[in-house]
A and B are shown apart, each in its own frame.
Chain A
Amino acid sequence: MTIWLRNRSAATGFGALALSALASPAFAQGNTPGINPTDTAWMIVATAFVLMMTVPGLALFYAGMVRKKNVLATMAQSLGAVAVISILWVAYGYSLTFVGDGASLGTLHRFMLSGMTMDSINPLAKTIPESLFVLYQMTFGVIAVALIAGSVADRMRFSSYMLFCVGWFTFAYIPLAHWIWGGGFLGQLGVLDFAGGLVIHLSAGSAGLVAAIMLGSRRGYGSENLAPHDLSLAVIGTGLLWVGWFGFNGGSALQANSRAVMAILSTHLAACAGALMWSAIEWFKRRKPSVLGMISGAVAGLGTITPASGFVTPGQGILIGLIAGAVCYWACTSLKHRYKYDDTLDVFGIHGIGGMIGTLLTGVFATAAIGGTPGLLEGNPHLLLVQAVGIVVTIIWSGGATYVLLKLIDVLVRVRVSHEHEVEGLDITQHGEALQ
């Protein structure tokens, strides 16, 4: 998400505006002059789209890939993240992330949204109501937390998961989002992350990797059949994620403008290219292009284009999607099995790796005519270095916070379910329900 200051400049312009305001009754409806109804309308829609990515999008995407005895528990993780993070976001998340531009953290001036009014705006999004900016950014915090659940699917207790959500959101997400988007030191350094390649995908991916290693593999990993129970659910979930991503990346322009459309175009093309690349590799290597491969490639393309979407051309979006399909395929099928960690639904392999290479490729392909910043190909190698710094900080901070939190939670409530409960399934043992 990058802030694009509207070119509402100059005293002459303001004079003309004031005159037309007097003449036009439409203007006299209580909006402050800075709030633009078109931008507001688009951002309301984009907000709904991004919420839809978590429920039902991610819930279906993940639930389709687990075994039947863990479907409801997997959906509960997405639902739980929506419920708890939304409340925490208005309590202190928004204020610490986006109010005040300290290098390390925001302020608590908007604790429980105190001081926010009907007409107030955040300086980072001057043309929409502050309440809408709060809501839009809330949906990003929600999905970042919900993504992590995929790496520890089938074996984490619901109580420990909810505690982890609160901790990771507070100690990993808020600082990272502030550092990159809220005026913190990474943003000041010039790190580009249009819609969350670092803040959402790499941070969730790093947390997922650490959590998967700390919890250990599922029982039967490598010996028993742990095949997905219903990939058609995952296909539906992917479709909802895909459409929702239009709001995720397009909305990150924070305005209804050409840059939003350009971001959506690159996003869609990257998803298509990612799906094609993953399938092509499978077709070549395994003689059959799997449906799981197609949707994995699409999500890889979407995650990878995320940081780049408002900075690159549509053609470069295709290229980024192709690279995403190939590299994420390698990460999920070779890297993971070589190092024998059970990142169950490939949160690191797809979101972590995708966010990482997308952030680097932003440094390569950034086009001044689109996002105002030139990258390596336009003669600015410095950007690539800055992007790499963003990656290193994100991995260390998110991974480190995850390690400390899980150690603490394990002392408090034990992170992993018992052997018996894992075999029986999380639906019945954690929630007292089961699919028949």
Chain B
Amino acid sequence: MKLVTAIIKPFKLDEVRQALTGIGVHGMTVTEVKGYGRQKGHTEIYRGAEYAVNFLPKLRIEVAVSADLADQTVQVITAGARTGQIGDGKVFVTPIESAVRIRTGETDADAL
């Protein structure tokens, strides 16, 4: 099992969600986050007072999938979230040791 964590631009969420549904991924967790990478921040101006805003709003998507689906998951997220502009985000894949579905007590692959 793999945990695929992606940081994406907020307006790309729907495309990514649809693409994931298309390959049979039927659950995800989305969190509003702030951060920066190469894009750095932006400048806000209020009546001439300029403020550098270092942390930009992004969405963090977390998807738990079986190991054989991980590569495809990364591909469709990458394709769905890409604009080609700086600040498109990143995708991380980490192993999952175990999983439990709370309602039924099913474990591991059955719980995903």
Contacts and interface: CB of A to CB of B under 8 A. Distances in A.
Interface of A: 225-228, 286, 290, 292-293, 296, 332-334, 336-337, 346, 349
Contacts of A293: 47
A333 B48 contact: yes
A227 B44 contact: yes
B47 A296 contact: yes
Interface string B39-75: 0000011111101110000000000000000000000
A337 B48 contact: yes
A227 B53 CA distance: 10
11 contacts: A225-B44, A225-B51, A225-B52, A226-B51, A227-B46, A290-B45, A290-B46, A296-B47, A332-B47, A333-B47, A336-B48
A352 to B, nearest CB: 15
Contacts of A286: 45
A286 B52 CA distance: 15
A293 B45 CA distance: 10
Contacts of B47: 292-293, 296, 332-333, 346, 349
A334 B53 contact: no
B49 to A, nearest CB: 7
Contact of B46 (A292, A336, A349): A292
A286 B49 CA distance: 12
Interface residues of B, number: 9
B41 to A, nearest CB: 10
Interface string B10-50: 00000000000000000000000000000000001111110
A336 B47 CA distance: 10
Nearest to B52: A225
Contacts of A332: 47-48
Given A227-B46, A333-B48, A336-B48, 15 more contacts: A225-B51, A225-B52, A226-B49, A226-B51, A227-B44, A227-B51, A227-B53, A228-B46, A290-B45, A292-B46, A293-B47, A296-B47, A332-B48, A337-B49, A349-B47
A333 B46 CA distance: 9
Nearest to A65: B46
A225 B34 CA distance: 16
Nearest to B43: A286
A286 B45 CA distance: 9
A245 to B, nearest CB: 21
A11 to B, nearest CB: 59
Interface centre among B48, B49, B52, B53 (most CB of A within 10 A): B48
A-B pairs, top 7 by smallest CB distance, nearest first, are A333-B48, A225-B51, A332-B47, A227-B51, A292-B46, A227-B44, A227-B46
A190 B60 CA distance: 67
Contacts of B53: 225, 227
A293 B49 CA distance: 12
A364 B48 CA distance: 30
B105 to A, nearest CB: 37
A226 B48 CA distance: 12
A272 to B, nearest CB: 20
A228 B51 CA distance: 11
A255 B68 CA distance: 82
A333 B47 CA distance: 6
A320 to B, nearest CB: 21
Contacts of B48: 332-334, 336-337
A126 B48 CA distance: 47
A292 B49 CA distance: 12
A226 B46 CA distance: 9
Contacts of A334: 48
Nearest to A293: B47
Contacts of A225: 44, 51-53
Nearest to A334: B48
A265 B48 CA distance: 31
Contacts of B49: 226, 337
A321 B52 CA distance: 32
Contacts of A336: 48
A225 B50 CA distance: 8
A296 B45 CA distance: 14
Nearest to B44: A227
B110 to A, nearest CB: 40
Contacts of B46: 227-228, 290, 292
